[in-house]
Amino acid sequence: MLSELSIGDNGVLVALDLPESVQNHLMHMGFVPDALVTVLRRAPAGDPTVYAVDGMEIALRRETAGAIRVRAAEAKVHDHAGEKLPQETDEAQPEVLEAAR
């Protein structure tokens, strides 16, 4: 669920389990299937949370975000020809950091 992501996490929207009127409103703002949603920040009390989707920042209450199903976003990198390739796993990260030193 979208409400379970941490600040900085990304998710790909799968479904909106909300009343049709709310679904339509959110869909007009970019909450459509396969949209990439990023958690930006939370209010000091933890509710609402601000999400980025389709170039917009939208604040949602935890109750609403809890009804939005997402899946993990696959990180992609581009090769020199512009094609998307799967990003290296986290296991390679320490080696990259060590080589950069």
pLDDT of residue 83: 52
Q: Two tokens at 48? A: 């609402």
Q: HSE of 99 in the Cβ direction (CA atoms, 13 Å)? A: 5
Global pTM value: 0.71
Residue 90 reports pLDDT greater than 60:
no
Domains detected in the chain: 2-74 (2.30.30.90)
Instruction: Report whether 40 contacts 2 (CB < 8 A).
Output: no
Q: End-to-end alpha-carbon separation of the chain, Å? A: 38
- Residues 58-74, mean pLDDT to the nearest whole number: 94
Q: Two tokens at 77? A: 């990198």
pLDDT of residue 18: 95
